[in-house]
């Protein structure tokens, strides 16, 4: 459960001037609490040692687990996300992805899956001006600036073959490591892929402290019109919305259980034996 003191600490950490950073995929990791606060507000619980540099969150139904921990040999942190639902198991890993883009995935875990069919991811990317290339063993797409590549291909997991998604941000043409990558495998729910793609395609800039140098040098930084107060207020409003959404979901689940439960028969009166 997210405490008021934690929100106060978030506010205290965001009092300086902000920059607008674009494109958003080069903005740097940002504040991990953009993700973790929302999950905690939805009832996810912390399983990790609060004094360790690892955050381990588990969903109320125990189906999902998110970890945020330092990566060996690097000053940055990485994420891992697993889904263990009856009948399926999928996993994902993320490098120093901007927290706001990762939230495109984690937000999808806080709401029921859509009941209507979703469009093909490749069609969504093509509509946004990306280049889509079918491959003999899958498909890939490149952003208009050539910086981001999304690829889907089959991989072998034990005795089965399954599709995996790879997202890669590499602005340099040479062999330098990518800025960040994402790897999602074993047939994750399609709406989570759409959430990640939608957050990636969002043209709006991300806000970063002007003292935060973690973004890539190709990112454009301009002084933001968003004040620190407005930034914190937007975070609190998002948390309030997640809490209300979680409460509504719990009420609906309770209502369904109550409606579906068979009536308990009244105990019959004992039959007296005639004397």
| pLDDT, tens digit, 9 for 90 and up, residues 109-164 | 998 889 889 999 999 999 999 999 998 888 999 999 999 999 999 887 666 778 89
> With pLDDT > 90 as the criterion, what percentage of the chain qualifies?
69
- Work out the angle between the directed axes of helices 228-260 and 4-12 (0-180°, nearest 10): 160
Check: CB of residue 105 under 8 Å from CB of residue 92.
Answer: yes
pTM metric for this prediction: 0.89
* 3-class SS of residue 134: strand
Backbone φ and ψ of 22, nearest 5°: -145, 155
């Amino acid at each position: 459960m997210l405490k008021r003191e934690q929100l106060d600490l978030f506010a205290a950490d965001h009092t300086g001037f902000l920059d607008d950073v674009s494109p958003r995929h080069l903005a740097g990791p940002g504040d991990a609490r953009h993700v973790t606060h929302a999950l905690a507000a939805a009832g996810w619980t912390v399983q990790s040692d609060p004094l360790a540099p690892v955050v381990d969150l588990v969903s109320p139904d125990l189906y999902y687990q998110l970890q945020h921990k330092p990566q060996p040999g690097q000053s940055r942190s990485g994420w891992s996300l697993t889904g263990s639902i009856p009948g399926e198991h999928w996993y994902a890993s993320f490098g120093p992805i901007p927290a706001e883009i990762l939230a495109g995935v984690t937000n999808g875990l806080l709401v029921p899956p859509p009941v209507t069919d979703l469009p093909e991811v490749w069609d969504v990317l093509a509509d946004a001006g990306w280049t889509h290339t079918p491959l003999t063993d899958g498909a890939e797409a490149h952003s208009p600036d050539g910086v981001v590549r999304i690829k889907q291909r089959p991989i072998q997991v034990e005795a089965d073959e399954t599709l995996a998604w790879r997202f890669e941000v590499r602005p340099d043409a040479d062999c330098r490591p990518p800025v960040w990558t994402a790897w999602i495998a074993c047939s994750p729910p399609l709406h989570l892929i759409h959430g990640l793609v939608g957050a990636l395609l969002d043209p709006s800039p991300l806000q970063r402290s002007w003292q935060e140098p973690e973004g890539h040098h190709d990112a454009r930084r301009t002084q933001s019109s968003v004040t620190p107060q407005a930034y914190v207020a937007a975070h609190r409003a998002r948390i309030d919305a997640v809490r209300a959404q979680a409460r509504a979901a719990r009420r609906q689940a309770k209502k369904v259980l109550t409606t579906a439960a068979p009536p308990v028969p009244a105990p019959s009166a004992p039959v007296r034996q005639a004397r």
